[in-house]
Amino acid sequence: MSVIKMESSKIIIDSLKDSDIKFEHYTHPPLTNVLERKPLGLDYGGYVCKNLLITTRNEARFLLCMLPAEKEADLKAMRDHFHTARLCFASDDALLRLLDQVKGSVGVLSAINDVGNVCEIVLDSALKDAERIAMHPGVITETVVLSGAELEKFLTQQNKTVHYFDF
């Protein structure tokens, strides 16, 4: 793990604490796929979600999405709902440039690295009232668990635009 990513995790954890967010923090062996969580008992009784950075082809708009792992992101339905041009998955360069993250470690908590507030946050509607959501704080060897309400509170405190969408 790079020093940059460890620092990113520390920044996220410190930001959660500074924002008076109620959360749990765990360390564990690396998870390279979100579907590894449940069989290894690393879901911590919460929703297991995947995170995707979606963009318009010209990169005029970025949507950082969190949805339950078993759901699929219907890019056409998202395009229609958000009134955008055609959507696609963002490049590895965009992940690094906007969120200081690499593929596999991206999560909505990494939105604090988006200092220009370019990324809009899109959470699955089921997460709004969730009691427990397990997510990476920027590294695949750590997990943070918090409620949907605490997640929205944190993102709002970070001046992020939060949308809910039925994936």
Q: Which is it for strands 87-89 and 47-56: parallel, antiparallel or unpaired?
A: antiparallel
pTM of the predicted structure, to 2 decimals: 0.92
Please tell me the predicted confidence (pLDDT) of residue 6: 55
For the chain, how many residues are written?
Answer: 167
The whole-angstrom separation of Cα 116 and Cα 95 is 14
**In the block, which residue shows the tokens 């990494």?**
110
What is the CATH number that goes with domain 3-165? 3.90.960.10
Which residue in the block uniquely carries the two structure tokens 């949805």?
Answer: 67
Any residues with CB less than 8 A from the CB of 124 and at least 6 apart, and which? 49, 65, 66, 67, 68, 71, 164, 165, 166, 167
C-alpha 166/C-alpha 163 separation (Å) is 10
The predicted-structure confidence for 85-127, as pLDDT tens digits, reads as follows 999 999 999 999 999 988 888 899 999 999 899 999 999 999 9
Residue with tokens 């997460």: 127
pLDDT digits (tens, 9 = 90+) for 2-45: 444 557 789 999 999 999 999 999 999 998 888 888 889 999 99
Answer yes or no: are the C-beta atoms of 111 and 117 closer than 8 Å.
no
102 vs 156, more confident? 156
